[in-house]
Amino acid sequence: MIETLHNATLISQAQPFIELDNHGEVLRFQLQEARYFLGRDRTWSDLEIPEQGWDVLSRRQAVLQREGDHYRIYDGDGHSTSRNGIFIRHTQISEQGYVLKHGTQLEIGQDASNQIKLTYIDPASSPTVTPSNLRLDLKRLRETPVELGREPDATRYASMTLESPVVSRRHATVYATPDGGFTLQDHSTNGTFVNGQRVERFAKLHESDRIRIGPFTLVYQHGILELADRGNQIRLDAAHLVRKVTDKLNTERVILDDVSLSIEPGQLVALVGGSGAGKSTLMKTLLGIEPTTSGKVYLNGDDLRQHFDLYRSQLGYVPQDDIVHCDLTVEEVLLYACKLRLPADTNAKQIVQKTLEQIKLHHVKHTFIRDLSGGQRKRVSIGVELLADPKLFFLDEPTSGLDPGLDKEMMNLLRELADQGRTVILVTHATANLEACDRIAFMGRGGKLCYFGSPQGALDFFEMPEADLKYFADIYIKLDQGKTKQDVHATVQHWATKFHQSQSHHLALNPVGRESSNRSAPSNMGSQRRYSPVQQLRLLSQRYGQLVMRDRMSLGLALLTGPIGIALIYLAVQTRDPLIPVTPQDAMHASLSLRTLLVISCIAIWVGISCSAQEIVKEAPIYARERLVNLGLLPYLGSKVLIRSGIAAVQTLLLIAAILLSLHSPAPDLLPWVFGLGMTNFLTLFSSLCLGLLLSTVVKTENQANNALPLIMIPQLIFSGILFELQGLPTQLSWLMVSRWSVGAYGALVDVNQMIPEAIQIPGRAPIAQPLQVNAVYDATWQNLGLNWAMLGASAIAYLAIALYLQKRKDVI
Ligand SMILES: Nc1ncnc2c1ncn2[C@@H]1O[C@H](COP(=O)(O)OP(=O)(O)OP(=O)(O)O)[C@@H](O)[C@H]1O
């Protein structure tokens, strides 16, 4: 039975249907039978096409054949292809046909301005039956602005609903302007792009403008705003990728050697090959985060690195390292990721529940990540990426370290994700479950593509004794044959050449991307992503605070080190009261006072640096991933500073209490001792924690951070001006030390100069100098105290500025 409907009418909830959109004239045909013929030839076609205005459609355009739960479409009548062809993402479908899945959109006709769009809708795969094509006649809506978004206010505005987690509820509005045109206003988190360029609040619409909102593309033409592409499918084309690197000996090495391949929407593709063959490099290049020496990657025909911002929200990437915090529960990880990555108006709880079901981890949602198995942890990383419903999903060794059962489960999960319309690309060493993949890319040493095609086809290509996947591992051995490095290279070259000449190569090279034709191609490198810095700061601080509180041992040590240090000073000085003057004056007492103040300063410096030196480096993989999505540098560093400053305030209170209890308090002229002590200790801690954060941006591992601590502490002691008298260059070096300004401030408060007796006068002899001289560094004046405090603050700002700069330099795109 064939049902033909016009425009927005909905049809049976259960049956799949195709929709043909001929410039707004929409036909829908419900599909029930095993086979359908589609064309203008009424004696041949099962589907009734109007006689007028549908000339783009050939007389015998296509055959639809049921295949499992879906239909496969073939171009032409089954013997020869049609005149105008059928295209997916500007690429003609091959003789093998194309499997239609929910949301698949094909184009009939070669002329982009005169095409019929064919969309396949399968209600069983979708919770709601939505019209696949939406168009608004803006000319008729001149009085009312048009709202575009996930949940636009349909009662107030004419609206277009664009259902995707990365679209804001009210994403953009289109207004009529007095000159008869239209202007688009962006209110979104993830941005609206007109012709590939991000809208900075307002953009005037021009004829044929392409508007991109999340995955959706709308076209503005003749006063009509039309949803041209749901973007639910991404095709990837890699064209002649070459990557050369220079090693430590300054010799050039090729790690990707002229790799070309095409991956169709909904395919599950494995990148396989021996260790060091270049799989990860290829994956990162396909993802756009590794540069190429030459060659390009295209997504739906767009140069990926040039249009990275356009696709940023559509890409999911699970790197080898886990991208989750171990001290959070599964649910917390997903909630934070959801709030950080998706628009603020998203119902985070609902999306997290859905994702938990998708990754089948509902039963462990309250479990800490550190208590999960390796496989479950990987699933959480995958879940974090699935929150934004990416259409192109990359996974670097998702099955490494998993037992065979978990390996199979993981591959099944990835297969499911691909079946839902996503393009999934993974690097793997596991060969047991490769039959789940649609394509495998076999890499040989030197980054050469030796095979790209079906897993079964690989066995035939590499001349295995039988077409049995148990021989898969033998391909690795075959590719690695040769006694010397040159022999192995010759072997790899043999297979790469064979592949170039083979049938499969045509498949791999099938159509490579086009340069964007109807859009300007701005470089998006380093372009600003929009986010609410205050909201990110709040979220990141909340998450970081929670993590700090959960690490009770470290927090306890950080809080108690100061008081314990003071108790030890008390033990050492006993009743000598180092902070108050003695009578008669004694230069040795002044020296004791300065040494005590140095130890108090160094406790704060040590605690400040050591508490923060690991805080950035330890979550580098998480940072790198979140930064690629939308993480702001200032909120990120700000959250560390904010939480650590809060802890520094508590540390200061504890230290004040310990000092008041252990040592007799001086009575400074400038301000009460307790305030001066608190301020100086806090500023010392603050400056040191900023120095620690700077260190954390420089080092590559937590171990390096630990090992660097003494190297930072030793100059603080040597150039503090207490242990050695400094002259010339060392004096200037001391200006770079937190200890110099901290001891300076304490010295001014305690008024150390007052404790130093005058030179001993013996009549008839030259005065005998005291072992310790009065020093302007410890002048008990507001001017001097203010200078010391200001320098502590200024060094903190300088450390943070350098840390920001170094972190920014880590950006890959
Ligand atoms: N930035 C770089 N500079 C120099 N050499 C590099 C760089 N990136 C990768 N390589 C080298 O390129 C080769 C391929 O590395 P890649 O990590 O892509 O291999 P792989 O196939 O993923 O290996 P494995 O399976 O062991 O993870 C390796 O020899 C690696 O040392």
Give 254 Cα–ligand 1 centroid separation in angstroms: 10
Confidence label for 230 from pLDDT (cuts 50, 70 and 90): confident
Ligand 1 atom 10 nearest Cα:
255
User: How many angstroms separate the CA atoms of 219 and 207, rounded?
Assistant: 9
Residue 229 pLDDT grade (very low, low, confident, very high; cuts 50, 70, 90): confident
**What does the block give as tokens for 97?**
């046909």
Of ligand 1's listed atoms, the one at least distance from the Cα of 447 is 14
DSSP line for 526-558: TPPPP--HHHHHHHHHHHHHHHHHH-HHHHHHH
Contact in structure between 283 and 397 (CB atoms under 8 Å): no
- Tell me, what's the pLDDT at 194? 92
CA dist 213 and 166 (Å) reads 9
Q: Residue 512: is its pLDDT beyond 90?
A: no
Task: Please indicate whether residue 250, judged by its CB atom, sits closer than 6 Å to ligand 1.
Answer: no
48-52, 164-168, 695-699: which has the highest mean pLDDT?
Answer: 695-699
Give the atom of ligand 1 at the shortest distance from the alpha carbon of 290. 1
Q: Which residue's C-alpha comes closest to atom 1 of ligand 1?
A: 245
Q: Does the CB atom of residue 280 touch ligand 1 within 6 A?
A: yes
Determine phi and psi for 86, rounding to 5 degrees: -120, 135
pTM over 0.90: no
pLDDT over threshold 80, residue 3: no
Whether 453 shows a pLDDT value over 80: the answer reads: yes
The residue whose CA has the least distance to atom 17 of ligand 1 is 280
Helix H or strand E segment including 278: none
pLDDT of residue 12 exceeding 60, the answer is no
Closest Cα to atom 3 of ligand 1? 245
Determine whether the shortest distance from the Cβ of 274 to ligand 1 is under 6 A. Answer: no
What's the mean pLDDT when you consider all of the chain?
87
**423-427 and 392-396 strand pairing:** parallel
Does residue 125 register a pLDDT over 80?
A: no
244, 249, 281, best to mutate for ligand 1 pocket (most atoms within 8 Å of CB): 281
Tell which one of 279, 399, 488 to mutate to probe ligand 1, the residue whose CB is within 8 A of the most ligand atoms: 279
Is residue 561 over pLDDT 80?
yes
Q: Any residues with CB less than 8 A from the CB of 407 and at least 6 apart, and which?
A: 399, 430, 432, 433
Task: Show the tokens assigned to 789.
Answer: 């405090």
Question: Residue 90 has what pLDDT?
Answer: 67
**Is it the case that residue 127 has pLDDT exceeding 50?**
no
pLDDT, residue 650, reads 98
What is the atom index within ligand 1 of the atom nearest the CA of 443? 21
The string of pLDDT tens digits covering residues 272-315 is 999 999 999 999 999 999 999 999 999 888 899 998 988 888 89
Q: Of 593 and 465, which is predicted with more confidence?
A: 593
Q: Check pocket membership of 786 for ligand 1, CB cut-off 6 A.
A: no
Could you tell me if the CB of 278 is within 6 A of ligand 1? yes
For residue 750, pLDDT beyond 70? yes
Looking up tokens 């980054």 gives 447
d(CA 401, CA 374): 7
- pLDDT number for residue 527: 41
Is residue 645 predicted with pLDDT exceeding 50? yes
Q: Which atom of ligand 1 is nearest to the CA of 246?
A: 4
**Cβ–ligand 1 contact at 279 (below 6 Å):** yes
Q: Which atom of ligand 1 is nearest to the CA of 284?
A: 18
**Token pair recorded at residue 316:** 């999911």
Give the list of residues 6+ apart from residue 791 with CB closer than 8 angstroms, or none: 735, 741, 744
Residue with tokens 């207490």: 722
Would you state the torsion angle of the CA atoms of residues 713, 717, 721, 727, taken in this order, to the nearest 10 degrees? -80
What is the pLDDT at residue 157?
57
> Looking at residues 464-493, what average pLDDT do you find?
87
Q: How many residues does the chain have?
A: 813
Q: What angle do CA 778, 784, 787 make, to 5 degrees?
A: 125
Q: Which of 280, 429, 488, 492 to mutate to test the pocket of ligand 1 (most atoms within 8 A of CB)?
A: 280
Distance 256 CA to ligand 1 centre (A): 10
Where does residue 78 fall: left (phi above 0), alpha (psi -120 to 50 degrees), or beta otherwise?
left
Helix 673-698 vs helix 738-750: angle between axes, to the nearest 10 degrees?
180
The mean pLDDT of 173-178, rounded to a whole number, is 88
> Which DSSP symbol is given to 525?
T
Tokens of 313: 């929200």
Strand stretches in 638-786, DSSP E: none
**396 CA → ligand 1 middle, Å:** 13
Ligand 1 centroid to 447 CA: how many Å? 9
Our answer on whether the CB atom of 276 is closer than 6 Å to any ligand 1 atom is yes
Provide mean pLDDT across the span 13-17: 71
Secondary structure of residue 118 in the 3-state scheme? strand
ipTM of the complex: 0.98
Q: Give the per-residue pLDDT at 11.
A: 41
Residue 449 pLDDT grade (very low, low, confident, very high; cuts 50, 70, 90): very high
Of the candidates 189, 224, 210, which has an alpha carbon nearest to the alpha carbon of residue 302?
Answer: 210
Region 330-343: mean pLDDT is 94
**Distance from Cα 293 to the centre of ligand 1, integer Å:** 15
Question: Residue 165: CB within 6 Å of ligand 1?
Answer: no
Strand duo 86-88 + 70-75: pairing: unpaired
The CB of 330 under 6 Å from ligand 1? The reply is no
Q: Which of 523, 519, 527, 529 is nearest to 220 (CA)?
A: 519
CA distances from 665 to 398, 594, 742, 774 (A): 61, 15, 18, 22
400 Cα: distance to centroid of ligand 1 (angstroms): 17
CA distance from start to end of the chain: 53
Q: How far apart are CA 132 and CA 555, in angstroms?
A: 54
